[in-house]
C-alpha cells in the first residue's frame, strides 16, 4: 500500500468520524442492569464490621454495583454498625425517605470494666442551687467489685456514690449533687473507681443483666476510657453546666383567693431565684397585684417563664384560651393548683383528656416524688386514672400494696404544644407546709425552677460538643423565639463572625466554627435585629483535657432499617440480608439505547487521522 492510499484512508476515516458524529446514530441492546448498592461501614470501624462489608461486597458484586458511600442513585443502602448513626458519609444529613435501607447490627465489643454510658445534667442552673447529675454506669465483668463514683469541681470532690456490682453485665444509676463554686460554666469531672470486694456472689445472680433503676433519656457529657491495673477499664466523664443569671419570672393568677396558690407563692417569694408577680381577684372588680403582673390576655404575659393558676372554678373561657396560647405558642409552663375537683367549666378544657379521680385519705400520705425534689404530704388528692405516654409523673400516691405496682399519679407534667402543663393533685399539701423541714416550699421551688429552666429563652444557644477540644469543630444552634427577627448574627470573642444558616424549623439557625486553639474560655455572642433587638451570650470552655462519654443510649441501628422498609440482621444472618436485597432489587433484562458517537473518546482517532495525514503530506513536500 503506497503512501497516497494511506493518506486517503486516513482522510476518509476522519471524515467518516465527523459525519457519524453529526448523524449520532443510536443502538438498542438488551441486557441485565447492575443496580448500585451502597455498603456503608459506620464509625467506629471494627474487625467484624470490615468482614461483614467484605463478604457483602463479594457476594453481591456479581449482580450489583457496590459503592462504599451513599449516592443519590443507590437502590439500596446497607449500613453496618452498632448504633443509630449521627451522620452518614461524614455529613450530618438525613437519609432520603424513599431509600431502602437494610442494616447489620454488629455487637459492640467492650472490654471488662466500668464505664459511664450516660450523664443527665441540666444545661444551666440558677445561682445558689445544687446541680443534680444522674449518671448511668455499665459494669461488664465487674461482679463482686464495688464502684465508687466521685464528682469533683475544680479538683474538689463534691459528691460521691458507691455501688456493688452483682452481675456480669449490669447498669447502675447514680445520683450526684454538686455544689457549684468558682467561675461558671462549671466543669464537673465524674470518675468511677472500682475496687475488689471480698464477699462472694452466687454465680446464678451474675449471669443475668441487671437494671438497677429506670433510665433517663437526656444525654450530655464526655468521657475517656482509662486502663487500670489488671486490664479493668473505666471511663471518666466531663460535664459542663452553665449558670442562669436571669431570675425565673413567675406569675400567679388567682381568679379567686386560693390557699393552694397562696402558700406556693410565699415559697417562691422567699426565694431570690424567682421574680414573682401576682394578680389575685379578691372580689368582683377588686384585685390584689404585685410585681408587674398582667392579665392573661396581655401580650406581656410572654415575658414570664411560668404561670401558676389557682381558683380554677372561676377561670373564664378567655382565661383558658390565653393559657392555651401561652402554652402552645410561647412554649411556656403553666402550673394549675386545683383545690377542688375539676368537674366542669372552662378549666376542664385545660385538663381535657385526663381522667381525674378525687381521693380522700384518712391520714396525709407522703407522696413518692421524682428525685431530686423534696417530698410532699397530702390527704386530699386528685389522682390520674390513666396517663398518656408523654406525660411525666412527678409525684405518686404510695400504693397500699407495693407489689401491685407504683401508686396513682398525683402531680403530672404534660406537654401542651411547645410548652408544659403541670397539674398538682395534692390539693391540701399546703396544710402540711411546716412538716419535714419545709419540704412543701422546697418541692415547689425545685419543681417550678425546673419548669422555668425548660422554657425556651428569647435566644437559646446550644453548642455541640459542649466542651470542645482546642481547634475542634463546633456546631452551633441558635433558636430565636421572636417571630419578628430581621437578622440574626453570631460571633466568637467579638472578632470571629460565625455564619448562621436558617433551618426549616422556624426560628432555628445553624452555624459552625472552630474552637480556639489554646485552652481557655471564649464568649459566644448572638445578636438578633428586629423590632426589639436582643442579645445573648454564652461562655465556651475549651479545656485542655476533655473526657467524653460515648452515648450508649443512642437508638438502635435497627431503627434506621425499620424506618426505611428494610431489615436488620446480625453478622451471622447475612444470608437473609442478601436474599432480602435480591428480592427487593432485581436486575431485569431491559433494552438499553446507546449513542456510541457521544463518547468524547472519538476525538482521539479523529485528531490522530488528521494529524497523520497532514504529517505524510508534509514529508512529501506538499502543503
Partner 1 sequence: MNTESVVTGAMSAAMRRARWLGTIEAAGWGLVAGAISPVAGIVCAAAIGVWRWTSTRRSSVVVRLERAHPDARNLFVTADELSRDVLKASPGARARVFEDAARCAERLDLSAAFPATRIGWIALFAVVAWGGVEIAHMRGDRLPRGSGGSAAVAPTASGALTGSRLRVTVEIQPPAYTKGKNTTFTDPEQLQAVEGSVAVVSIDASSDQISVEHDGRARSLTRGAGGRFDERLQLARTGFLAVTTGDGARRTIPIVVSPDALPSVRITAPGRDLVYAGGNPRIAFDARATDDYGLRSLILRYTKVTGSGENFEFQEGEIPLTVKSANAREWTGSASRSLAELGLKEGDMIVYRAVAADERPGDGSAASDAFIIEISKLGVAAGDAFTLPEEESKYALSQQMLIVKTERLHQRRGSLAPDALAEQSLNLAVEQRMIRAEFVFMLGGEINDEEVEAEQSVELQAGRLQNRGQRDLRAATIAMSQAEKLLTGTNTAEALVAERTAVAALQRAFSRDRYILRALATRSQLDPSRRLTGNLTDATGWRRLVPNTPENRRTALLQDLLREIAELIRVRLKPDTTETKSVVRSGPIGALSGASVVSGLSRTNVLVLAEEAIRIDPASASLRQVATELQRAADAADPAVRSAALTAAATAAAAEARRAHADAPLPSDSVAPGLGGAFADAMRARLKASRSSEAPQGSRSNEAPQGSRSNEARR
Of residues 74-93, which lie at the interface with partner 1 (CB under 8 A)? none
Of the residues 7, 145, 377, 442, which one makes contact with partner 1 according to CB under 8 A = 442
* Number of C-beta neighbours around residue 16 at 10 A: 13
Shorter beta-carbon distance to partner 1: residue 50 or 328: 328
By CB under 8 A, the residues from 186 to 225 that bind partner 1 are 216-218
Which single residue is written with the C-alpha cell 469533683?
152
Residues 6+ apart with CB under 8 A from 410: 367, 378, 381, 382, 383, 384, 395, 396, 397, 424, 425, 426
By CB under 8 A, the residues from 410 to 439 that bind partner 1 are 414-420
C-alpha to C-alpha distances, 70 to 90, 244, 287, 564, nearest whole angstrom: 10, 43, 65, 14
Shorter beta-carbon distance to partner 1: residue 3 or 361: 361
Q: How far is the CB of 436 from partner 1 (least distance, A)?
A: 12
159, three cell numbers: 459528691
Of the residues 53, 83, 132, 145, which one makes contact with partner 1 according to CB under 8 A = 132
Of the residues 156, 200, 229, 622, which one makes contact with partner 1 according to CB under 8 A = 156
Q: How far is the CB of 594 from partner 1 (least distance, A)?
A: 50
Residues 6+ apart with CB under 8 A from 301: 251, 294, 295, 307, 322, 326, 330
By CB under 8 A, the residues from 87 to 126 that bind partner 1 are 120, 122, 125-126
C-alpha to C-alpha distances, 329 to 270, 448, 576, nearest whole angstrom: 30, 20, 48
Distance CA 213, CA 215 (A): 6
Shorter beta-carbon distance to partner 1: residue 40 or 356: 356
Shorter beta-carbon distance to partner 1: residue 33 or 216: 216
* Number of C-beta neighbours around residue 42 at 10 A: 22
454, three cell numbers: 425548660
By CB under 8 A, the residues from 346 to 365 that bind partner 1 are 352-353, 355, 357-362
Distance CA 355, CA 382 (A): 10
Of the residues 28, 72, 283, 495, which one makes contact with partner 1 according to CB under 8 A = 283
Distance CA 289, CA 238 (A): 45
Of the residues 276, 460, 478, 490, which one makes contact with partner 1 according to CB under 8 A = 276
User: By the 8 A CB rule, do 601 and 9 touch?
Assistant: no
Q: What are phi and psi of 451, to 5 degrees?
A: -65, -45
CA atoms within 13 A on the CB side of 348: 7
Shorter beta-carbon distance to partner 1: residue 7 or 433: 433
* Number of C-beta neighbours around residue 13 at 10 A: 17
Quick check: 264 binds partner 1 (CB under 8 A)? Answer: no
Q: How far is the CB of 362 from partner 1 (least distance, A)?
A: 7
User: Pairing between strand 233-243 and 186-196?
Assistant: antiparallel
By CB under 8 A, the residues from 288 to 347 that bind partner 1 are 288-291, 328, 331, 340
Q: How far is the CB of 38 from partner 1 (least distance, A)?
A: 29
193, three cell numbers: 473507681
Task: Indicate the SS3 state at residue 203.
Answer: helix
Of the residues 117, 131, 306, 485, which one makes contact with partner 1 according to CB under 8 A = 131
Question: Could you tell me how many residues make up the chain?
Answer: 623
Of the residues 278, 322, 424, 522, which one makes contact with partner 1 according to CB under 8 A = 278
Of the residues 46, 63, 105, 129, which one makes contact with partner 1 according to CB under 8 A = 129
Shorter beta-carbon distance to partner 1: residue 134 or 613: 134
Q: How far is the CB of 352 from partner 1 (least distance, A)?
A: 6
By CB under 8 A, the residues from 446 to 505 that bind partner 1 are 446-447, 449-454
242, three cell numbers: 452553665
Q: How far is the CB of 348 from partner 1 (least distance, A)?
A: 10
Q: How far is the CB of 431 from partner 1 (least distance, A)?
A: 8
Shorter beta-carbon distance to partner 1: residue 157 or 576: 157
Distance CA 423, CA 387 (A): 12
According to DSSP, the residues that pair with 277 across neighbouring strands are 251
Of the residues 33, 71, 370, 469, which one makes contact with partner 1 according to CB under 8 A = 370
Distance CA 71, CA 35 (A): 12
According to DSSP, the residues that pair with 248 across neighbouring strands are 274
Of the residues 23, 30, 90, 155, which one makes contact with partner 1 according to CB under 8 A = 155
- Give the range of 370-378, 469-477, 488-496, 557-565 binding partner 1 by CB under 8 A: 370-378
Cα–chain center distance at 601 = 52
Binding to partner 1 by CB under 8 A, coded x per residue (else -) over 377-406, reads ---x----x--xxxxx-x--x-xxx-----
Quick check: 6 binds partner 1 (CB under 8 A)? Answer: no
Of the residues 22, 229, 286, 622, which one makes contact with partner 1 according to CB under 8 A = 286
Q: How far is the CB of 449 from partner 1 (least distance, A)?
A: 4
Residues near partner 1 (CB under 8 A), total: 88
Nearest alpha carbon to residue 174 among 142, 140, 132, 210: 132
Shorter beta-carbon distance to partner 1: residue 155 or 299: 155
Quick check: 180 binds partner 1 (CB under 8 A)? Answer: yes
Q: How far is the CB of 353 from partner 1 (least distance, A)?
A: 4
Amino acid at each position: 500500500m503506497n503512501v497516497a492510499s494511506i493518506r486517503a484512508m486516513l482522510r476518509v476515516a476522519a471524515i467518516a468520524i465527523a459525519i457519524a458524529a453529526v448523524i449520532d446514530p443510536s443502538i438498542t441492546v438488551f441486557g441485565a442492569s447492575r443496580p448500585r448498592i451502597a455498603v456503608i461501614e459506620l464509625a467506629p470501624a471494627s474487625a467484624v464490621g470490615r468482614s461483614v462489608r467484605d463478604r457483602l461486597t463479594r457476594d453481591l458484586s456479581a449482580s450489583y454495583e457496590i459503592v462504599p458511600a451513599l449516592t443519590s442513585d443507590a437502590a439500596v443502602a446497607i449500613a453496618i454498625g452498632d448504633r443509630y448513626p449521627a451522620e452518614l458519609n461524614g455529613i450530618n444529613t438525613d437519609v432520603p425517605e424513599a431509600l431502602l435501607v437494610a442494616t447489620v447490627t454488629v455487637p459492640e465489643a467492650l472490654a471488662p470494666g466500668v464505664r459511664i454510658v450516660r450523664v443527665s445534667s441540666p444545661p444551666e442552673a440558677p445561682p445558689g442551687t445544687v446541680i443534680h447529675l444522674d449518671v448511668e454506669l455499665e459494669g461488664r465483668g465487674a461482679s463482686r467489685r464495688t464502684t465508687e463514683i466521685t464528682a469533683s469541681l475544680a479538683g474538689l470532690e463534691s459528691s460521691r456514690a458507691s455501688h456493688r456490682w452483682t452481675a456480669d453485665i449490669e447498669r447502675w444509676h447514680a445520683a450526684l449533687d454538686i455544689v457549684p463554686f468558682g467561675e461558671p460554666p462549671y466543669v464537673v469531672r465524674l470518675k468511677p473507681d472500682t475496687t475488689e470486694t471480698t464477699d462472694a456472689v452466687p454465680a446464678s445472680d451474675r449471669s443475668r443483666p441487671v437494671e438497677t433503676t429506670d433510665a433517663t433519656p437526656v444525654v450530655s457529657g464526655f468521657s475517656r476510657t482509662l486502663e487500670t491495673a489488671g486490664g479493668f477499664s473505666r471511663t471518666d466523664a466531663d460535664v459542663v453546666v452553665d449558670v442562669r443569671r436571669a431570675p425565673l419570672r413567675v406569675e400567679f393568677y388567682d381568679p379567686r383567693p386560693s390557699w393552694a396558690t397562696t402558700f406556693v407563692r410565699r415559697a417562691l417569694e422567699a426565694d431570690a431565684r424567682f421574680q414573682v408577680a401576682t394578680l389575685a381577684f379578691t372580689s368582683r372588680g377588686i384585685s390584689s397585684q404585685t410585681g408587674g403582673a398582667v392579665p392573661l390576655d396581655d401580650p406581656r404575659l410572654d415575658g414570664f417563664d411560668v404561670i401558676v393558676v389557682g381558683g380554677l372554678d372561676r377561670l373564664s373561657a378567655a382565661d383558658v384560651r390565653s393559657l392555651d396560647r401561652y402554652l402552645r405558642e410561647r412554649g411556656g409552663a403553666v402550673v394549675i393548683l386545683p383545690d377542688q375537683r375539676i368537674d366542669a367549666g372552662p378549666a376542664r378544657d385545660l385538663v381535657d383528656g385526663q381522667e381525674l379521680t378525687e381521693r380522700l385519705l384518712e391520714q396525709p400520705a407522703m407522696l413518692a416524688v421524682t428525685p431530686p425534689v423534696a417530698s410532699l404530704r397530702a390527704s386530699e388528692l386528685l389522682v390520674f386514672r390513666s396517663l398518656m405516654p408523654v406525660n411525666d409523673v412527678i409525684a405518686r400516691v404510695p400504693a397500699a400494696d407495693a407489689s401491685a405496682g407504683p401508686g396513682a399519679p398525683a402531680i403530672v407534667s404534660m406537654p401542651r404544644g411547645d410548652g408544659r402543663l403541670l397539674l398538682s393533685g395534692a390539693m391540701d399539701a399546703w396544710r402540711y407546709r411546716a412538716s419535714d423541714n419545709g419540704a412543701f416550699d422546697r418541692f415547689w421551688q425545685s419543681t417550678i425552677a425546673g419548669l422555668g429552666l425548660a422554657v425556651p429563652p428569647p435566644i437559646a444557644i446550644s453548642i455541640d460538643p459542649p466542651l470542645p477540644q482546642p481547634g475542634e469543630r463546633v456546631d452551633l444552634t441558635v433558636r430565636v423565639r421572636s417571630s419578628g427577627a430581621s437578622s440574626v448574627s453570631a460571633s466568637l470573642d467579638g472578632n470571629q463572625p460565625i455564619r448562621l444558616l436558617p433551618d426549616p424549623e422556624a426560628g432555628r439557625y445553624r452555624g459552625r466554627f472552630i474552637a480556639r486553639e489554646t485552652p481557655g474560655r471564649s464568649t459566644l455572642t448572638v445578636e438578633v435585629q428586629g423590632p426589639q433587638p436582643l442579645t445573648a451570650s454564652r461562655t465556651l470552655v475549651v479545656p485542655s483535657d476533655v473526657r467524653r462519654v460515648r452515648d450508649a443510649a443512642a437508638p438502635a441501628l435497627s431503627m434506621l432499617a425499620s424506618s426505611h422498609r428494610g431489615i436488620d440482621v446480625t453478622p451471622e444472618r447475612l444470608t437473609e440480608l442478601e436474599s432480602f436485597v435480591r428480592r427487593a432489587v432485581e436486575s431485569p433484562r431491559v433494552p438499553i439505547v446507546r449513542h456510541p458517537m457521544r463518547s468524547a473518546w472519538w476525538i482521539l482517532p479523529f485528531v490522530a487521522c488528521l494529524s497523520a495525514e497532514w504529517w505524510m503530506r508534509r514529508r512529501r513536500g506538499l502543503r
